[in-house]
Amino acid sequence: CWDGHDNARRAEETGVGNHIRRDGWTEGVLERAILGLLADDAMRARLKDNAAQMALKPGTDVAAEAILSLIRT
């Protein structure tokens, strides 16, 4: 399940999550990461902004329109 780690790395790179190495985590590392995310007000603000942006352009609607466009041609 490497894609989960790729997704976590991208989330960390874009400032909306943390990545913990597959071979480097312990219960303590995981606990600190979770508690850190829950306490991060800046992270919460970024996620809220991302959610608002995503709501403006629902991906499922865009995908459905693209599929219908292909079917109609």
27 to 17, 30, 56, 67: CA distances (angstroms): 18, 5, 38, 44
CB burial of residue 69 (10 Å; 0-12, 13-18, 19+): exposed
List, for residues 16-73, the tens digit of each pLDDT value: 999 988 887 899 999 999 999 999 999 999 999 999 988 888 888 889 999 999 999 8
List, for residues 50-62, the tens digit of each pLDDT value: 999 888 888 888 8
Domain boundaries, the chain: 2-72
Is the distance from CB of 36 to CB of 18 less than 8 angstroms?
yes
